[in-house]
Structures are given as C-alpha cells and as structure tokens.
Amino acid sequence: MSMLEKLSELESRKAAIANSGNEDAKKAALAKGKLSARDRITNLLDENSFVEMGAFVTSRSHSFNMDVQGTPADGVVSGYGTISGNPVYVYSQDASVLGGAIGEMHAKKIVRLYNDALKTGIPVIGVLDTVGIRLQESVDALEGYGAIFTKMTEASGVIPQIAVVFGDCAGGAAFIAGLADFVYMSTKNARMFLNSPNTIEDKTATFDSIATAKVHFEESGLATFIGEKEEDVISEVRNLVTYLPQNNSKDVPFYNVTDDINRVDPNLNQFDLASNKISDIVGSIVDNGEYLELNAKYGISTFTAFARMNGGTVGVIANADTTVDYLGVKKMTKFVHMCDAFNVPVLTLTHIKGFASTVATEKLGMIKECSKLVHAFADATVPKVNVIVGEALGSSYIAMNSKHIGADYVYAWPTAKVAALNAESAVKIIYDEEIKKASLASEVIAAKTAEYETISSSAYAVAASGYIDDIIEPAATRKRVIAALEILSSKQVDGNYKKHPTV
C-alpha cells in the first residue's frame, strides 16, 4: 500500500471516529439543545488550536457484548489547545458512546491527560456528560475512578481544575466535579447527584430537589456559575481562564491597563452603605469596573470575585451584609484558600457587625467554620490588603483579614468604626449602674456613646494603636490599593515546616 493510500486510510479512520457514536443518542441530545462532545471543545478553545490525543483508543473489554458495541475514542475526546492564547488541557465526555460511561480506557485517557498537565503546569478543563460507571467493566472501571480521583488530588492546588457539567454527572463521577476548583453547569440539561432520588430515604426527593444546576448554585455551593445555553456557559469558562495563572508557581496574568491607575471616584465620598451594594464599591475601584463574581447565589451575605487592578488579577472579598451567615463564612474560606493556592492577591472590603447563627448552624459547626475562616486568612501568604469601609465589630472584625491575623496593609475610610461591640451596646454594659441611676437615661446613653465612639471605636483611635495603617479618602481607594499591591508584589513568607494544617 502506498503512502498516499495510507494517508487516505488515516483520514478515513479519523473521520469515522469523529462521526461515530449512537445515532439515536445524538438525535436525542440535539433535541435537548446539547452540543456534541467535539463541538463543545471547538466552542471552548481558540480556533484551530485543538490537538487531539488518544483518538484511536477503544475499550479492551469483551464481556457483556462489549465486543460488538464499539467504543470510538472510548467515549471521551481529549487533547490540548488554547483559550485566549493560554494553553489548557481538555477532555469532553461523549454521551453518544454508552452514555459517556467511564470505563478502564476512558479513565486512562483522562489520567494520561492529567500526567501531561502536571508535567507542563497547565490547567485542566473537563466537560462532563456521563451516566457514571461502565458496569460492563466492573472493578476495572472502579480502578479507573480511583486513578482519576488520585490524579485530581495530586493536581489540587498545583494547576487550576475546571469541571463543566452539561448532562448527567452521576454517582462516583460526581466526585470529579467535587474535586475540581470551579464547576460550571447548564440549567437546561445538567444533573449532578451522588444517589438517585429513588434510593434516598426521603420519598419526596426528586432530581429537581437534589440534582439541578439551581440546587448546586444556590444551596450546595458546588456550582460556581450556571447558564441555560451551553455556548454561554462555555463563554464564561473562557473568561475565567483569563484571570487564572497557569499553575501555583506562576504569577497571576497581567493585561494592558486601559484604566487610569490613579483614578479617583468622588462618588465614594458620599457612598451610603445602607442604601447601596458593596459590589458598587468593587465596580468603582477595579480596572474598567469589570469583575467576575463567583458563586453569586450561594452564601449571599458575602461577595467573592476575581477582578483586575493595574492589569493583574486580584481576589476580592466583601461583606454584602453586615451579618455574615454560615454559608457566607464557608464561601469566603474556600475563596481565600483558592487565592492563596494560586498566588492571587486578596483584597477585602470590610463592613461587618457579626456572624449570624441559629440552632441549626450551631449544631452544624458554626464555630468551626468561623475558625476555618480565621485560619485561612492567617495562613495565606499572598499579599493581603484590607479596606474597612464601614463597621468592623468584635471577633468578626478580627476574622475579616484584620491586622491581628496577618493582613499586610489595613486602610479605613474616615467613617469606619472598629470596636469590640457597637458603641451603644458597649455603653449600656460599661455604664450600667450610672444609666440606672440617671433621671434621663437616654441623655446619659447618648453622651457616653459619643464619647465611646471618639475614644475607642473611631478609625483614628484604632489607627493610633497601629492596627490601621492609614485612613484614606474613599475617592482615592483605587490608587491606594494598587500602590499597596505593587509594593507587596515581591512579598515572600517562609513558614514552619508542616505536612498540612489540621483545621
């Protein structure tokens, strides 16, 4: 056979693989508005950048009629390419091949991809659409699960891992999403669950109540972002990648700055925290007012986002509510760990009076979750800047990236109040006897409250003790934060050796 004939055969074989799969499954997917596994990669990556690996891999199993079913690419398309010029590894499960079920060779392709990603220090994006384990391959398929989980654990905190769920992600396969750093889901077709509703003791359980994108976006917190159309979700994944470093040894990406780094916003000098959103401050101080909010509907008492300041990525954490609840604490802790793992500087905008708790959250471990937040900030070695824009009271003030647990620079607006307790409550405790004896208790409370705020809780009083580095004009917040991040860009911290923390 001539070279020309060989090349013709190669082209024919590749075309057959690309066009194979169960036709009925393809039609059903198309009717649901789902893209094919290959089209998902085409939409995700820069044009003509995809290089496929393992296209000729098929199942080695011959049991249970596997030898006659055919498993082109063994149900997963894998390779590498670029997103906005940034290299990424990607795999996309093909639900038209045995429902995208994970078998031995399917798993080996994913593990091989992870091995290459770890060697090169490049992020991994997995597009998930699978019914779960391939039962025909039994323990060989379980071995595949374990190999994937092990590699993802090895990669955790080393390279960014993104899971994109566009169909079912069932049983142990859901651990792939659980082990990822970011999870994106389609509201139209994605379902993620460990156990099917009919196996759950609560007989009112349905897929709608435990498995949808909305559930994981608002209640479990597993989904970072959700969207109806797959193309829209993919667009958001592409946007996320532009904010992330390639790996934990690289600095955050920097882009050309089109915004004035010395820009001031006079509107912040009249900013009313009671009637405006904390995100309005974020939009005012970051480059071009653009930011990427994460987990927007989970733990809504807090705000977390990636943004750029002076062209470089910054992780922004802010108090959307002055009382932060259980989910809000968990959300902040996870984000701090994420930023610290990938060298993303942290900026906090603090306006907090306390942590909310109920009987249920106390039993769930509110104390432990708040302790984890303290640990996350104290343990983080990235540049940490805190701007106190409103009140900062008690232990919640300490936990919000305060000077006391390692913030590099702490600034405050002139209107900020920092204290162990709000002024009036503190006065009622300190001057209890005097208030009881007073003929006009309200006048005593008012006078003592004003005195307490001046002596103890004003930003100037706290700055006098060295716990605030400077009191700044609100309008100048952007340029002051950028200046702090610039001087901290060479920050280095050598800690005591330990295998890992225990908190």
3-class SS string, 292-316: EECCCCCCCCEEEEEEEECCEEEEE
Let me know: does 361 contact 323? Beta carbons within 8 Å: no
Sign of CA dihedral 139, 141, 145, 147: positive
Predicted local distance difference test score (pLDDT) of residue 64:
58
Q: Which residue has the tokens 């190669």?
A: 10
Coarse DSSP helix, strand, coil percentages of the chain, rounded to the nearest 5 percent: 45, 20, 35
Calpha distance 431→223 (Å, rounded): 49
Q: Which two tokens stand for residue 2?
A: 């001539």
**Long-range pairs for 4-13: beta carbons < 8 A, 24 or more residues apart:** 13/56
Predicted local distance difference test score (pLDDT) of residue 69:
67
Using DSSP's 3-state secondary structure scheme, residue 352 falls into strand
Predicted local distance difference test score (pLDDT) of residue 293:
98
Closest of 235, 236, 238 to residue 225, by C-alpha: 236
Let me know: does 234 contact 164? Beta carbons within 8 Å: yes
Per-residue pLDDT of the chain (503 residues; tens, 9 = 90+): 788 878 887 787 788 777 776 777 778 777 888 999 999 999 999 999 999 998 888 766 656 566 656 688 889 999 999 999 999 999 999 999 888 999 999 999 999 999 999 999 999 999 999 998 887 787 888 999 999 999 999 999 999 999 999 999 999 999 999 999 999 999 999 999 998 888 888 888 899 999 999 999 999 999 999 999 999 999 999 999 999 999 999 999 999 999 999 999 999 999 999 999 999 999 999 999 999 999 999 999 999 999 999 999 999 999 999 999 999 999 999 999 999 999 999 999 999 999 998 999 999 999 999 999 999 999 999 999 999 999 999 999 999 999 999 999 999 999 999 988 776 777 687 877 788 777 787 777 787 777 777 776 789 989 999 999 999 999 999 999 999 999 999 999 987 888 888 88
Q: Which two tokens stand for residue 346?
A: 């942290």
Let me know: does 137 contact 61? Beta carbons within 8 Å: yes
Calpha distance 345→255 (Å, rounded): 16
Domains of the chain, earliest start first = 3-241 (3.90.226.10), 266-413+472-490 (3.90.226.10)
Predicted local distance difference test score (pLDDT) of residue 428:
80
Q: Count of H helices and E strands in the chain? A: 20, 18
Residue 39 C-alpha from the chain's centroid: 26
Predicted local distance difference test score (pLDDT) of residue 63:
64
Q: Which two tokens stand for residue 304?
A: 């977390």
**For residue 337, what are the CA distances in angstroms to 9, 64, 149?**
51, 46, 20
Predicted local distance difference test score (pLDDT) of residue 204:
87
